Structure 1
Amino acid sequence: MKAHVNIMWFRRDLRLEDNAALYHALKSQLPVIPVFIFDRAILDKLDDKTDRRVEFIHSAVVEMQQYLQGLNSSMEVYYGFPKEVFETITSRYEVEAVFTNRDYEPYGLERDQEIKTQLSEKGIAFKTYKDQVIFECNEVMKDNGTPYTVFTPYSKRWKAKLNDFYLSAYPVKKYQQYYYQTSPNPIPTLESMGFKAVSKSFPAKQLRDDIISKYHDTRDFPGNDTGTSRLGVHFRFGTVSIRKVARVARSINDTYLGELIWRDFYQMILCHFPQLGKGAAFKPQYEHIQWRNNEEEFKKWCDGQTGYPIVDAGMRELNATGFMHNRVRMVVASFLTKHLLIDWRWGEAYFAAKLLDYDLASNNGGWQWAAGCGCDAAPYFRVFNPSLQTQKFDKALEYVRKWVPEFEEFTYPRPIVQHEFARKRALEVYAKALNP
Structure 2
Amino acid sequence: MMPDTAIAWFRRDLRTHDNEALAAAAAADRVLPVYCVDPRTHGMQPYGGADSFRYEKLGTRRVRFRRESLDGLRDRLRGLGSDLLVRRGRPEVVLPNLADAVGADVVTFHDLPGPDERAVRAAVTAALRERGVTPRRFWGRTLHHIADLPTPYTAISDTYTKFRKSIEADSAVRETYPRPSLAPIPGGDDTGVDADAIRPGSIPDVDVAVDSLGSPDAELGAGEDADEIDERAVHPFPGGEDAALDRLTSYIWEGGHLREYREARNGLVGPDYSSKFSPWLNEGNLSPRRVFEEVKRYERERVSNDSTYWLVSELRWRDFFQFQLAKHGAQFFAPGGLRRRHDVNWRWDEQEFERWRTGQTGIPFVDANVRELNATGYLSNRGRQNVASFLVNDLTIDWRRGAAYFETQLLDYDPASNYGNWAYIAGVGNDSRQRAFDVLAQAHQYDPKAEYVTRWIPELDGLVPQKAHEPWTLSESEQARYGVELGVDYPRPMIDPTTSGDDPV
- 1:247 CA displacement: 2.0
- 1:59 CA displacement: 1.6
Contact 2:61 2:376 in 1 (8 A): no
Contact 1:167 1:244 in 2 (8 A): no
Q: 1:172 aligns with which of 179, 202, 218?
A: 179
* Mapping of residues 162-311 of structure 1, within 5 Å: 162-163=171-172, 166-173=173-180, 175-177=181-183, 185-191=200-206, 193=219, 194-196=221-223, 198-201=226-229, 202-203=236-237, 204-205=243-244, 206-207=247-248, 208-209=251-252, 210-250=256-296, 251=299, 252=304, 253-284=308-339, 286-311=341-366
Q: Which residue of 1 aligns with 2:25?
A: 25
Instruction: State the secondary structure of the residue aligned to 2:182.
Output: helix
Instruction: State the secondary structure of the residue aligned to 1:260.
Output: helix
Contact 2:115 2:330 in 1 (8 A): no
CA distance in 2, matches of 1:137, 1:144: 7
Q: 1:318 aligns with which of 352, 373, 379?
A: 373
CA distance in 1, matches of 2:331, 2:405: 17
Cα distance, 1:142–1:5 mapped onto 2, change above 3 Å: closer
AA in 1 matched with 2:125 = K
Q: Which residue of 1 aligns with 2:401?
A: 346
CA distance in 2, matches of 1:126, 1:398: 53
AA in 2 matched with 1:23 = A
The answer for unaligned runs of 5 or more in structure 1 is 425-436
Q: Which residue of 1 aligns with 2:41?
A: 42
Equivalent residues, number: 416
Spell out, residue by residue over 1:244-264, the C-alpha distance to the aligned partner (whole angstroms, 9 max, x if none): 112233435111111111111
Contact 1:73 1:181 in 2 (8 A): no
Instruction: State the secondary structure of the residue aligned to 2:406.
Output: helix
CA distance in 1, matches of 2:65, 2:153: 42
CA distance in 1, matches of 2:90, 2:450: 48
Instruction: State the secondary structure of the residue aligned to 1:226.
Output: coil
Q: Tell whether 2:497 aligns with 1:419.
A: yes
CA distance in 1, matches of 2:139, 2:92: 22
CA distance in 1, matches of 2:184, 2:57: 39
CA distance in 2, matches of 1:331, 1:49: 23
Q: Which residue of 2 aligns with 1:398?
A: 451
CA distance in 2, matches of 1:120, 1:292: 46
The answer for unaligned runs of 5 or more in structure 2 is 46-55, 189-197, 209-218, 230-235, 238-242, 461-467, 469-483
CA distance in 1, matches of 2:76, 2:501: 55
AA in 2 matched with 1:371 = A
Cα distance, 1:141–1:288 mapped onto 2, change above 3 Å: farther
CA distance in 2, matches of 1:349, 1:144: 26
Q: Tell whether 2:75 aligns with 1:66.
A: yes
CA distance in 2, matches of 1:264, 1:415: 38
Q: Which residue of 1 aligns with 2:139?
A: 130
AA in 2 matched with 1:84 = V
Q: Which residue of 2 aligns with 1:86?
A: 95
Cα distance, 1:282–1:139 mapped onto 2, change above 3 Å: farther
CA distance in 2, matches of 1:199, 1:34: 27
AA in 2 matched with 1:35 = V
- Alignment RMSD, CA only? 2.5
- 1:127 CA displacement: 0.6
CA distance in 1, matches of 2:74, 2:364: 44
CA distance in 1, matches of 2:168, 2:501: 38
Contact 1:62 1:187 in 2 (8 A): no
- 1:48 CA displacement: 7.9
Report the TM-score when normalising by structure 1.
Answer: 0.88
Spell out, residue by residue over 1:253-298, the C-alpha distance to the aligned partner (whole angstroms, 9 max, x if none): 1111111111110111111111334424335453221234322111
Instruction: State the secondary structure of the residue aligned to 1:98.
Output: strand
AA in 1 matched with 2:277 = L
Contact 2:280 2:286 in 1 (8 A): yes
Cα distance, 1:187–1:277 mapped onto 2, change above 3 Å: farther
CA distance in 2, matches of 1:242, 1:19: 11
CA distance in 2, matches of 1:82, 1:358: 21
CA distance in 1, matches of 2:164, 2:375: 34
CA distance in 2, matches of 1:274, 1:143: 15
- 1:404 CA displacement: 1.3
Q: Which residue of 2 aligns with 1:385?
A: 438
Q: 1:108 aligns with which of 109, 114, 117?
A: 117
- 1:346 CA displacement: 1.3
CA distance in 2, matches of 1:103, 1:345: 21
CA distance in 2, matches of 1:181, 1:245: 37
Q: Which residue of 1 aligns with 2:481?
A: none
The answer to which of 59-68 and 98-107 deviates more is: 59-68
Contact 2:82 2:183 in 1 (8 A): no
Cα distance, 1:35–1:144 mapped onto 2, change above 3 Å: closer
CA distance in 2, matches of 1:306, 1:199: 28
The answer to which of 8-17 and 44-53 deviates more is: 44-53
Q: Which residue of 2 aligns with 1:13?
A: 13
Q: Which residue of 2 aligns with 1:432?
A: none
CA distance in 1, matches of 2:154, 2:42: 38
Seq. identity, %: 30
CA distance in 1, matches of 2:379, 2:30: 42
Spell out, residue by residue over 1:335-373, the C-alpha distance to the aligned partner (whole angstroms, 9 max, x if none): 111111111111111111111111111111111111111
Report the TM-score when normalising by structure 2.
Answer: 0.77
